[in-house]
Amino acid sequence: MKLSSLLSSLGAVAGVIILWIGFNLCSYSLPETQQAIVTQFGKPIGGPITNSGLHWKMPFVQTVNLIDKRILEWDGRASEMPTRDKLYIVVDAFGRWRINDPAQYFTRLRDERSAQSRLDDIIGSELRNAVAKNDLIEIVRTTINRKPDLDPAATTNGPPVGLLLPIRHGRGAIEKEIMAAAAPKLKDFGIELLDVRFMRLNYNSGVSAKVHERMVSERQQIASRFRSEGEGEAAVILGNKERDLKGLQSEAYRLVQGIRGEADAKAIAIYAEAYGQNERAAEFYSFLRTMETYQKSLGKDTTLMLSTDSDLFRFLKQINPTNPPAPRR
């Protein structure tokens, strides 16, 4: 009795295990973010399964291949490429895509690794073509009508330094052009291209050095302009100073000469009044002026030759020596 009950229990457990294994072999669960392609001996059968939930399959014959339904990312490798104006730049771009035809995608590519490789080839080629057809400023700037902000120091009193050239398309239009060219090619693989954007643009090492040199040169031009303007202002200030100084000096000289003239006139009037009272006063005045003339004109080493009829010599003729020289023997 005990043996039969044990065997029945083991049979029930074995039946449950067999049913569980059979259920797992014959069914599969599809999550919300996945879609499936069922293959039989490696060939797809039926259409893609997009509804989430529990589904059935034939065990050991059919295989379920899961395909993502979400928006996937493509991150291109940074590569160096030339622009139309012969500048070599390093371009790093990214994109977004999804699988809109699972059967075509599975038939042509099988897995996401192959899809990423195909995206690298197609988007990378169109990216290189778009960069080669446009100038660098077209790839960098996004708006056409926006006026760039310039350094006021670079545009004051002279031609602007570092003025940006106008653009025709802009970065947004170039990104749309790349997407429009690559999307039809990817559609054959069951891929819908949603967006392509530039992530990073940079000069290579050789061009970066030239750009830095140009920036230094522009700043040196601004500094030279400031220096020349400062020198011009300094010259104007110095000229005004010299003009004002000469004006002050001439005015002071005029005042001095006027004061001296007035003083001389008053002195002459005083002298005339003092020495013009009688003949002896006038003669005394003449004597004083002659003595002053002797004092100013005759020095220690002065040799003066005068005529005996000269007015300057008439007082010298009347001088009686205090100590006459002794007579010669």
Predicted pLDDT of residue 215 = 81
Closest-CA residue to 191 (of 107, 305, 78): 107
Measured distance CA(132)–CA(65) in Å, rounded: 41
- Pairing between strand 34-40 and 62-68? antiparallel
Dihedral sign, CA of 305, 309, 314, 316? Answer: positive
User: 220: buried, middle or exposed (CB in 10 Å: 19+, 13-18, 0-12)?
Assistant: exposed
Mean pLDDT, consecutive 10-residue segments, the chain of 329 residues? 65 68 70 87 81 79 86 91 87 93 90 92 94 89 68 54 70 92 93 93 77 81 85 91 91 91 84 71 74 74 71 62 53
274 sits in which H/E element = helix 205-275
Q: For 119-131, what is the HEC assignment?
A: HHHHHHHHHHHHH
Reply yes or no on domain 75-203 having CATH 3.40.190.10.
Answer: no
C-alpha span between 45 and 263 (Å, rounded): 133
Q: State the Cα–Cα distance between residues 2 and 199, nearest whole angstrom.
A: 76
pLDDT at position 160 is 52
| Cβ neighbours of residue 70 closer than 8 Å, sequence gap 6 or more | 33, 98
Q: What is the token pair recorded at 278?
A: 């009688």
Q: Quick one: which of 136, 284, 292 has its CA closest to 204?
A: 136
The CA distance from 144 to 70, in Å, is 35
Would you state the pLDDT for residue 105?
Answer: 92
**Do 160 and 154 contact (CB within 8 A), yes or no?**
yes
Whether 31 and 51 have beta carbons less than 8 Å apart is answered as: no
Distance between CA 25 and CA 20 in Å, rounded?
9
Q: Say which amino acid occupies 190.
A: G
CA angle 98, 101, 103 (to 5 degrees): 130
Buried b (16+ CB within 10 A) or exposed e, 288-304: eebeeeeeeeeeeeeee
Task: Report pLDDT for 329.
Answer: 45
Question: What pLDDT sits at residue 313?
Answer: 66
Ramachandran category for residue 249: left, alpha or beta (phi over 0 → left; psi -120 to 50 → alpha): alpha
Residue 244 is predicted with a pLDDT of: 92
Q: Which helix (H) or strand (E) covers residue 196, if one does?
A: strand 191-203
| Cα angle value 71/72/78 (rounded, 5°) | 140
